[in-house]
Amino acid sequence: MQVPFYTSTREYHDRKAEFDKAIQEVLEKGDFILGSAVSEFENEVKAYTKSKHALGVANGSDALVLASDICELKTGTEVLTPVFTFFASTSCFVRLGAKPNFVDVDEETFLMDLHQAESRITKNTRGILPVHLFTQMVDMTLCMDIAKKHNLSVIEDAAEAFGMEQKYQGEWKAAGCIGDFGVYSFFPTKTLGGYGDGGMITTQSDEYFAKAKSLRVHGTTVKYYHDYVGYNSRLDTLQAAILRVKLQKIDEGIEKRLSHANLYRELLKDIDAIKLPVIKGENKPVYYVFTIKAEKRDALAEYLKNAGVGTSIYYPVPLHLQKCFSDLNHKKGDFPVAEKLCTEVIALPMYPELTKEEIEYTCEKIRAFYKG
Ligand SMILES: *Cc1c(COP(=O)(O)O)cnc(C)c1O
């Protein structure tokens, strides 16, 4: 049996007529740049997340850069951010001249350790960038308390968090809708993924929304009149049309991910060499990935590969040890939890179209590896 780590083609074939129709409509209209599908998709994301504003941009990394720019996380400022995340969560403000105040993560949830975060604040710290990683959101009550106390801008990296929610001030809130900005990615593998790149910025502020909208098109509100030195970062109309089709069935997909996660848990629970994902706090989890901690991780990955099961390592190197950040003079041992996780984590196949047989096969192979 071959179990791909990720595939878009099963969903495409299941719903081919709908995708083809959506794509064809854009081709017939020819409104490729900020066409009607973009604003329709923005409105649908607003309704889904209950965000006041949503703005489609070229990708999640750009969304983070635009948000950092508007929050003025630039030269002379510092930003709290976890070391165990995708590169873009840090590069977004480093490219604007800001410096990371790196923070270690919780060994069970893999999320930024907010208690440590507070201890890393310096006189130059102006922002905090919580990353809602893999399955659940950072504790936003604590995060917002720290931000208020120290006057920090909050950019929620919700690139992996479409559909996640958390109880905040007595209400269920969508990821990305609590801080100054939230950021989504529609990279194909994400829970809501397109057939190419795409991203979105959410904000509850009219002023921030207006600025983001202008920065998206070279800092203009009137064509050829530039109020800011902006960017060219628009969500492609074809991607928006595809994402609209996907959004219609997102809840069904999230439910399937949850039931796959439950099956994995059931089949793997008695293997001592493995630690299953831990959900904490008042979170509605979404299984963007199913990441376990595994003894002899690299050998397990190799064994599964030979058995036809795809896996992935998110993330093999913590950010403080990346070559491009060597001028910050961090060394091995500075963030021990993240460093250890980088040697232990492995993500198993997780997408709605995955079958029960494929999960059973994957778990049998994991069991065989540890017995052998
Ligand atoms: C995917 C991802 C991004 C970047 O999104 P792109 O759309 O690929 O640019 C940023 N942060 C995190 C945590 C991600 O997982």
| pLDDT value of position 152 | 98
Where do we find the tokens 């994957």?
A: 362
pLDDT digit string, tens, across residues 104-138: 999 999 999 999 999 999 999 999 999 999 999 99
State how far the Cα of 301 lies from the Cα of 282, in Å rounded to an integer.
Answer: 33
State how far the Cα of 98 lies from the Cα of 79, in Å rounded to an integer.
Answer: 7
Tell whether 1 is covered by a domain: no
**Cα separations in angstroms, 204 against 6, 201, 216, 243:** 34, 10, 18, 22
- 82, pLDDT greater than 80: yes
| pLDDT value of position 372 | 77
Could you give the number of structural domains in the chain? 2
Examine the domain organization and report whether 219 and 260 are in the same domain.
no
State how far the Cα of 360 lies from the Cα of 260, in Å rounded to an integer.
Answer: 10
Once rounded to an integer, what is the mean pLDDT over residues 329-358? Answer: 98
Burial of 71 (0-12, 13-18, 19+ CB in 10 A): buried
State how far the Cα of 329 lies from the Cα of 243, in Å rounded to an integer.
Answer: 42
Examine the domain organization and report whether 237 and 272 are in the same domain.
no
Report how far ligand 1's centroid is from the alpha carbon of 187 (Å).
7
Tell whether 268 is covered by a domain: yes
pLDDT digit string, tens, across residues 33-71: 999 999 999 999 999 999 999 999 999 999 999 999 999
Examine the domain organization and report whether 156 and 42 are in the same domain.
yes
Find the residues whose C-beta lies inside 6 A of ligand 1. Answer: 59-61, 85-86, 88-89, 131, 157, 159-160, 185, 187, 197, 199
| pLDDT value of position 258 | 98
pLDDT digit string, tens, across residues 167-215: 999 999 999 999 999 999 999 999 999 999 999 999 999 999 999 999 9
Pairing of strands 125-128, 78-82: parallel
State how far the Cα of 67 lies from the Cα of 60, in Å rounded to an integer.
Answer: 11
**DSSP tag of 58:** S
Report how far ligand 1's centroid is from the alpha carbon of 257 (Å).
20
| pLDDT value of position 288 | 98
Domain of residue 64: give its range.
Answer: 9-247
Examine the domain organization and report whether 286 and 173 are in the same domain.
no
CATH number at residue 348: 3.90.1150.10
Report how far ligand 1's centroid is from the alpha carbon of 224 (Å).
31
Q: What is the mean pLDDT of the chain?
A: 98
pLDDT digit string, tens, across residues 203-224: 999 999 999 999 999 999 999 9
Contact 308, 293 (CB under 8 A): no
| pLDDT value of position 208 | 98
Examine the domain organization and report whether 167 and 53 are in the same domain.
yes
| pLDDT value of position 321 | 98
| pLDDT value of position 68 | 98
Contact 39, 47 (CB under 8 A): no
CATH number at residue 147: 3.40.640.10
- 91, pLDDT greater than 90: yes
Examine the domain organization and report whether 294 and 234 are in the same domain.
no
Q: Which residue puts its alpha carbon closest to atom 6 of ligand 1?
A: 60
DSSP-derived 3-state class of residue 143: helix
Once rounded to an integer, what is the mean pLDDT over residues 256-266? Answer: 98
- 269, pLDDT greater than 80: yes
Q: Extract the tokens encoding 136.
A: 């659940």
Give the number of the atom of ligand 1 that is nearest the alpha carbon of residue 62: 9
Report how far ligand 1's centroid is from the alpha carbon of 141 (Å).
23
Pocket test for ligand 1, best of 95, 112, 187 (most atoms within 8 A of CB): 187
Both ends of the chain: CA-CA distance in Å?
Answer: 20
